[in-house]
A and B are shown apart, each in its own frame.
Chain A
Amino acid sequence: DQQVKQNSPSLSVQEGRISILNCDYTNSMFDYFLWYKKYPAEGPTFLISISSIKDKNEDGRFTVFLNKSAKHLSLHIVPSQPGDSAVYFCAVKNNAGNMLTFGGGTRLMVKP
């Protein structure tokens, strides 16, 4: 039973345009949400996070939106750059502990 789903395994975007990555979760006990970027043969790199008491958090080109009623999380990257090409994972934290549950990842390809 997947508690965190990233339904798009891949996404292709033109350089300079917006990339929107989506994540759905099932458990209302999740209280903290994170996005990580991963290059091959490297560990995930933390990008941005949001608490369940907020609905938006922005950091430079990256914005995370949280829709609690829909149990939906999204990451917007504007403008997209070729260096953003990587696999992006959403991760959620349960309010009962600090372990993270990850989605399956979305491979983003930004074309020059």
Chain B
Amino acid sequence: KAGVTQTPRYLIKTRGQQVTLSCSPISGHRSVSWYQQTPGQGLQFLFEYFSETQRNKGNFPGRFSGRQFSNSRSEMNVSTLELGDSALYLCASRPSSLYEQFFGPGTRLTVL
């Protein structure tokens, strides 16, 4: 089975812009979660989607949003980018029967 894929792998934006990141889960996985990794805060949970519904949300401002499509693919959007949004954004998918999450390679976002 193919793993979790994320596009793009690298992205450079400027403050105030918005960005959309994409994630395709492992085939058959209906749960998709997003995490942010920064040197200062480590790996932090953003949100989880299951069957197109947001199930959980982490402690991030409303500028961070996401959605999931009927084929389980997910996107996350960050509006009005700030310098502190520079991070590695990781997507993970999970089969319904397990708790283990399987991560993609991440999208490295740099905000200038």
Interface set of A (CB-CB < 8 Å, partner B): 32, 34, 36, 41-46, 49, 89, 91, 93, 97-105
Contact = CB atoms under 8 A, between A and B. Distances in A.
Contacts of B94: 98
Chain B interface, DSSP helix/strand/loop, else mixed: strand
Interface size band for B: 20 to 34
A43 B48 contact: no
Q: Which 6 pairs from chain A and chain B are nearest by CB?
A: A43-B103, A102-B43, A99-B45, A32-B99, A97-B56, A44-B103
Contact of B100 (A34, A42, A101): A34
A43 B90 contact: yes
Contacts of A36: 103
Interface of B: 4, 31, 33, 35, 42-45, 48, 55-56, 58, 90, 92, 94, 99-106, 108
Given A97-B55, A98-B31, A43 B4 contact: yes
A89 to B, nearest CB: 7
A84 B102 CA distance: 19
A93 B55 CA distance: 14
Contact of B99 (A43, A98, A105): A98
Contact of B90 (A32, A44, A97, A98): A44
